[in-house]
Structure 1
Amino acid sequence: MNTLAPASAAQAQHDIVDEFAFFGDWTERYQYLIDLGKQLAPFPDDCKTEDYRVHGCQSMVWLVPSGDAANMHFEAISDSAIVSGLIALVLRVYSDRPAAEIVATEPAFIQDIGLAKHLSPTRSNGLAAMLAKLKAYAAAAL
């Protein structure tokens, strides 16, 4: 995963769409998601609390915000390999951005890479819950 965030959330989404275009089928794309999840930064166990838990996910997901309206940073982790990959994508688009950009950015990449059609209803609900919580943190910072 890139250590330098793309210049904008829109560019990050474009990069994700380009990367997923390399894979011919969803077996390869799921494997790529799992690999992305394995590259998430280590997550502190003391942040695995109810305060940071994302409700609405079937698997356990924790999302920790930091920073301020000018630049918000997020760390997150899941006990599910595929969900951790989804987190990696979400963090590429939304972390280390101004709160106003986070709130204004729709997650078009989910539809653009075909992910919306290939997630179970429970994973789709969990992804929506994670995005809602992340945007709520950004809105609160504004």
Structure 2
Amino acid sequence: MSDMPQMTLDDLAENFALFDDWEDRYRYIIDLGKKLPPMPEAEKTEASKVRGCMSQVWLVVLPDPGPPKRLTFHVDSDAHIVRGLAAVMMIIFSGRTPEEILAIDADGIFARLGLDSHISPNRRNGVASMIATIQAMARAA
């Protein structure tokens, strides 16, 4: 996430708490998505497409051999809110070891942020697909 400083989950939760309503939080999520580095068109392939998302989402893993081995993810979407949710996924998962990624309680994090009850069922399915793809990449690493 080259245009934004390294953000932690606690930073994200604190920022969410600053907003009084969900309209402002959605704008913030969209702004996070705008700060994702652009994905080269060559990486937007059928192989990198996340299945199960209504919007188009592409996700690639960039392993850092370490030690310890860490996985950094590159993600993009053709929808602003989904790109923002993908940025949230990068804050949660990117730059961690495969073991750390597999130990993350993504549902608990989404509940902590309030996203579990404030995104549509279709978007929840897409987020679940992104999480499953990231976890599969961590298992394969």
TM-score by length of 1: 0.90
2:105 matched residue in structure 1: 106
Residues 61-114 of structure 1 deviation map (CA, whole Å, 9 limit, x = unaligned) = 000001157111100000010011111111011111111101111123211121
SS at match of 1:50: coil
SS at match of 2:47: helix
2:48–2:59: 8 Å Cα contact kept in structure 1?
yes
The alpha-carbon deviation at position 4 of structure 1 amounts to 3.2
CA RMSD of aligned residues (A): 1.4
2:31 matched residue in structure 1: 35
- Cα distance in 2 for partners of 1:48, 1:102 equals 23
1:14 matched residue in structure 2: 10
2:125 matched residue in structure 1: 125
Which residue identity lines up with residue 70 of structure 1 in the other structure?
K
* Structure 1 segment 1-142 matched on structure 2, within 5 A: 2-4=4-6, 12-67=8-63, 68=65, 70-107=69-106, 108-141=108-141
2:19–2:25: 8 Å Cα contact kept in structure 1?
yes
Unaligned stretches of 5+ residues in structure 2: none
2:116–2:124: 8 Å Cα contact kept in structure 1?
yes
1:99–1:138: 8 Å Cα contact kept in structure 2?
yes
Q: How many residues align?
A: 135
Q: Which has the higher contact order (CA 8 A, sep 6+)?
A: 1
1:8 matched residue in structure 2: none
Unaligned stretches of 5+ residues in structure 1: 6-11
1:54–1:62: 8 Å Cα contact kept in structure 2?
yes
TM-score by length of 2: 0.90
2:4–2:35: 8 Å Cα contact kept in structure 1?
no
The alpha-carbon deviation at position 128 of structure 1 amounts to 0.3
Say if 1:4 and 1:16 are closer, same or farther in 2 by CA, change over 3 A: closer
SS at match of 2:51: coil
The alpha-carbon deviation at position 50 of structure 1 amounts to 0.7
- Cα distance in 1 for partners of 2:104, 2:71 equals 14
